[in-house]
Amino acid sequence: MHHLVQVSQVAAQTGEQLAPTWQQILRLLKADSQVGFLVGRLLASLNYKNTVTPLQPEIVTGLYGNSLNISISQLESFYKNPYEYFLQYGLKLNERDEFELSPASTGQFFHEALDELIKLVQQQRINLASLDDQAITEMVTEVTQKSSKIQIIFRLLFYKVLIE
């Protein structure tokens, strides 16, 4: 199908008809009950035009209200990029925060892990002094696998080590 779409696109751009072989392939694919719909959609996409249509007044009122109380910087933002203005002030979207692995977040991981470990020790009434290294390792593994918050931070630490 990939080649058919490419050949169809070239034919549409040059104003030529598809070669008879490609026309036959197109007819067979369109007649196929499993892929006929998909072929139609793919070829229809060749003529698609992404046109901007004005918003209806009711939608504008719902997004921005009846009276605009805007600043000069907002007007400049609209003039510079109306779409970005719509996203920021109409839909009130914000950029997603990116988690950075900092010393504070690394410390948070260890604090969270130790906190969960101590809770587990207290629940099971275990004497820490009586635990050997293997038992502690097993308990730490159990704690880190249970907590989704610890899992996220642990993965980030792991990937940071891989990158470095």
Tens of pLDDT, residue by residue over 78-123, are 999 999 988 998 888 988 766 666 788 778 878 888 888 888 889 9
Closest residue by Cα to residue 4 from 37, 26, 35: 26
Cα pseudo-dihedral 60, 61, 64, 68, rounded to 10: 110
pLDDT at residue 72 in the model:
92
Query: Is the per-residue pLDDT at 13 higher than 80?
Result: yes
Q: How confident is the model at residue 164 (pLDDT cuts 50, 70, 90)?
A: low
Mean pLDDT of all residues belonging to the chain:
84
Q: CA 131 to CA 140: how far, in whole Å?
A: 12
Helix 133-146 with 148-163: angle, nearest 10 deg: 110
> Hey, what are 116's tokens?
């969960």
Amino acid, res. 158 = F
- Cβ-contact 30, 4 below 8 angstroms: no
- Cβ-contact 8, 18 below 8 angstroms: yes
Helix 148-163 with 103-123: angle, nearest 10 deg: 140
